[in-house]
Structure 1
């Protein structure tokens, strides 16, 4: 990530004005996870009840809490959050290879009718529901042709580290066990090279880097007890290095949260943030936006230069902090991504590229008339998007080049308005030199 000062704060120095944002929705989510079924069909759902009916999910039972896809879906649809609609649809890919035994379906509730702890805190995992490199590769392939705006992978991607003998996305075979970077390369390959061809989307993820936490801290500041900071920085740097489009991520989270007073895992927390993001206009930054339903975090971060929270935030990892103690509201400290762009920049540009719908232009001959028609089509989209998404300031089409009989190059320059992270106010003070209008009489004896 480039060198930036993104520690959100108020400074008293000079003045700026925030842009007024307008809606531009992109709320369709692609969800990879395990569901209580062996049905491998790719579905699209517009409601949680429809999804549960299809997969046979009983709310608050083992058929929900033992399957990360089921848990993530209720968060992405923002179940129980009255003031947030969540995703407009979820396209699912099931990685489960065997169905849940019906004898395992049970519900444990307390006197108030609620489960004692959050579903995924007691989750039982077996091999049939675990993610592997091959499962992830197949799931990403299935989603490649789907119309989605955001991608969420519910299982821990560390489980998908390729084993010796597995075939990678590029056709090579691992001659030894791989690393987490191999998994990142797989995801980014689809985001940068496959999904971008069809319908580009952005990945929202969570970090579950909990090994050797005490030795994985930067020195001199307040450490974290829930994440290996050095491993997190290395992973995010790899994402930045390999993200050729600057559009890969729309949020990277690591803190378990309390939602409506109940503790949830970092996976459910990130799924909740996915639902929240999907509900917002693409032009809306998440910085300092109150997150509906969140009532606390497992660990509050500190934002000094050498503190874990400050280090993670400046690397482009999203940190959730208190917004107002009295109202018990919480927000994202800063939604700048590892590439230096805010989440609203990334979603707005992705929205524009999807509106281009370039897939329909493939197969046309490279006649001048066809190319000019294509450019006119893009200009019409530019005009529409500039009206709908004011975070985009200007879109300029450059001069096209015919690289070969089957390949053309068309440069598009997109200029974005900045997102305010620091407000400086110019304050001057003076004491009036006007004389007092009152007078006093001195009487001598």
Structure 2
């Protein structure tokens, strides 16, 4: 009984204390998001021993009572994908920064719902007698899927101390008959690795892919509307590079960009195999991007003798793309089956980018003809109608059809090279950032 009483006295001498503080916070979203800083309020609870002695190593817990914002209405966060780290300031008898880290454990976090952050823990070796105060400081939120991004949050006002440890000299109070047990409560150490910094941004100029000058030696030409389309003669046609102004609808707002695009064709019986190339690298990858996460497609607009559209698309990226590396997207391909006879123009049309579970749609604000072909109407061709047509048929080509568009022309050859560009349009990069941005106040969402 006496021994038991001594143990109780020893524990009672070092009760754990928990105190809650709140402070105005500014959070900087990932650089790839293009979003402005977010203002919010952080509420945390700090738990630490009330008393300890010099030489003790004490464990401290940081609990998020309220994060500075909600998960925005863009992407559901999967289970166990969010990890917080932060800094706790020690002052008074000893000063220093205490590294805090939470586990990557969280429930699924739906769009437009409260963030769920794990408790962070850290340890402090006590080196001087007196009072040591503990104050929350900056913290970081890392989300590792679908790509790794960091949101950095820091106080925007003076933060009140959240806990105080009374540290006694370890030389004179360990003996005695009753209550003579040590007052410090040892704890297990925890590893405190730091998270990677924000992914770099920037742009690079990769060389544009070189178009082959294909075609028979007797029929090749660099201008459209040549001697092909019916039979014999030229079989490969190289379109001219045109600057296409796009207006894009993304999950995080409207964006505008201009991209250089070229349409090439290769005669295949009565049809044409189309290849659409984006001819210039716009930027390097702003973050690590997993495989099979970006898929582009386009509706090539027909004009002149024929009407309708031809669907072309490229496969998703087969390999993960590291931050800072050029993003390589294969050419967009499809088959055009003419629905009318005569000169038909081909222009870059509506571009769709599916990335990380979201969709961005980009519509040209101006029609720019890249290629002109001499076409002969085929059964079940694109759309039909117009001068020189035998009447035209409804329906879609093997590549698909929908709306109408058109313009003037130019021609050339096929090129199967890949383009080094995330910049199908500038909005694509913003889309990737917006899809993983995890810190935005509810009022901004509304």
The alignment's TM-score, normalised by the length of structure 2, stands at 0.20
Larger radius of gyration: 2
- Name the structure with the higher helix share: 1
- Name the structure with the higher strand share: 2
